Amino acid sequence: MTIKTSLSVAALAAALGASAATAQQACPIKVGVLHSLSGTMAISETTLKDTMLMLIDQQNKKGGLLGCQIEPVVVDPASDWPLFAEKARELLTVDHVDVIFGAWTSVSRKSVLPVLEELDGLMFYPVQYEGEESSRNVFYTGAAPNQQAIPAVDYYLDELGIKKFALLGTDYVYPRTTNNILTAYLESKGIPESDIFVNYTPFGQSDWATIVSDVKALAADGEPVGVISTINGDANIGFYKELAAQGISADDMPVVAFSVGEEELSGLDTSNLVGHLAAWNYFMSADTPENEAFIQAWHDYIGDDARVTNDPMEAHYIGFNMWVNAVTQAGTTDVDAVIDAMVGQTFPNLTGGTAEMLPNHHLTKPVLIGEIRDDGQFDIISQTDPVAGDAWTDFLPESAVLESDWSKLHCGMYNTQTQTCVQLTSNY
């Protein structure tokens, strides 16, 4: 309904301002898809490429955008971080795409950032990340730490009465930063540093026996222990297998994971993991008509009813639709106009409620906590009201004074104490 009206408004505007808009708008509109199709990250990112192709296909069937068809330009950065920058430059300067949807790992995003800022490109980043960043040229449709990690810890503290924490993560920036934020947050909640056990393991770690034993030993203090896992990718398989083997049930010692979703669980037998937790902004089991339609469309497109949907897919779904609406509203795909039109865009979530794009280029999203079921899906046991994404965390002293606002302050890193803009372009 809203799409329809805004479409007709746009058509009217285009008709009135005819020459200007049509002269600038070259058909077809090109959308770059920058997801790894080979290498270690292909496991997660290929699905997102397919999601984008599906969304573009749907939009073209609805009549395209500004009277143009949308043409996807898919490239493969092959899980090679420098290659992300190279491919982004190619997309912007050779293919002249109007927008890029892409990247998964933080390091790949950081690789693309300087190119986007230099060439004034536009990118939608769909994955939950560690925050501490706000670029004018990027819209972050995944969760910031306060939209995933902090609510999950609150759930531990309030609902499960956990007093002792084991933060296990893969050794890279997302777990490191998230754990730093969580440590600061827990200390502000009165948990002493000695009750927070932190461990980092390499990518693809497979020998978990000792670490799981160490975590088990934490319970000897008599305080309830909770595990917060930022373990990434296929290392999770060995980790959960070891948990099951050592008989750690969710009642004894719950594990909440921030990087384990439906897709990751599909490589596992979950019967021994029932009750362990994950925190996301979306679960496939969400019972809404929008979600049912989305899953149906996905299954039809991919031709396999066994395929699951996950949180980053929803992020692309929201991001793409917001972009379509912003372009329609601006009447052009010009990056500056679209960036202005993006802020304040709203679009219904798949889990109910409405997502809104904030001036700091993050979304408002509800936070869901799910318990693993034996069929590899999640029971949603807690759903918060929509939480506004916070680019700079409030729990680290040097970030607490920072603010990001691209519509009024025109600055992604504004120091509220000294009232100066620390920097306009990111320092990556």
Site for another protein in 127-156 (CB under 8 A): 130, 132, 155
When binding is defined by CB under 8 A, the residue of 7, 70, 76, 309 that contacts another protein is 76
When binding is defined by CB under 8 A, the residue of 13, 27, 53, 160 that contacts another protein is 160
When binding is defined by CB under 8 A, the residue of 69, 398, 410, 416 that contacts another protein is 398
Q: List the structure tokens of 295.
A: 């899953």
Question: Which of 13-21, 298-306, 343-351, 418-426 is the region at the interface with another protein (rule: CB under 8 A)?
Answer: 418-426
Q: Considering the complex, what minimum distance in angstroms separates the CB of residue 82 from another protein?
A: 4
Q: Considering the complex, what minimum distance in angstroms separates the CB of residue 59 from another protein?
A: 22
Q: Considering the complex, what minimum distance in angstroms separates the CB of residue 245 from another protein?
A: 4
Q: What is the DSSP string of 250-281?
A: TTTS-EEESS--HHHHTTS-GGG-TT-EEEES
Nearer to another protein, 323 or 414 (CB): 414
With CB under 8 A as the rule, give the number of residues binding another protein.
102
Question: Which of 59-67, 195-203, 322-330, 336-344 is the region at the interface with another protein (rule: CB under 8 A)?
Answer: 195-203
The dihedral formed by the CA atoms of 321, 323, 72 and 331, expressed in degrees to the nearest 10:
120
Residue with tokens 């798949």: 350
Nearer to another protein, 15 or 217 (CB): 217
Nearer to another protein, 76 or 334 (CB): 76
Site for another protein in 319-338 (CB under 8 A): none
Q: Residue 299 interacts with another protein (CB under 8 A)?
A: no
The angle formed by the CA atoms of residues 261, 262 and 264, to the nearest 5 degrees, is 70
Please state, in angstroms and as integers, the Cα–Cα distance from residue 362 to each residue in 113, 146, 207, 237, 392, following that order: 16, 11, 37, 31, 11
Q: Residue 69 interacts with another protein (CB under 8 A)?
A: no
How far apart are alpha carbons 175 and 166 in whole angstroms? 13
Q: Considering the complex, what minimum distance in angstroms separates the CB of residue 422 from another protein?
A: 5
Q: Residue 17 interacts with another protein (CB under 8 A)?
A: no
Q: Which of 45, 35, 11, 26 is nearest to 98 (CA)?
A: 26
Phi, psi at residue 276, to the nearest 5°? -70, 165
Cis status of the peptide bond prior to 72, with omega within 30 of 0: no
Q: Residue 371 interacts with another protein (CB under 8 A)?
A: yes
Q: Which of 52, 148, 65 is nearest to 103 (CA)?
A: 52
Q: Considering the complex, what minimum distance in angstroms separates the CB of residue 280 from another protein?
A: 16
Q: Residue 86 interacts with another protein (CB under 8 A)?
A: yes
Q: Which of 261, 242, 262 is nearest to 253 (CA)?
A: 242
Binding mask 226-265 for another protein (x = CB under 8 A): --------x--xx--xx-xxxx--xx--x--------x--
Tell me the pairing of strands 123-125 and 99-102.
parallel
How far apart are alpha carbons 10 and 329 in whole angstroms? 6
Site for another protein in 44-63 (CB under 8 A): 46
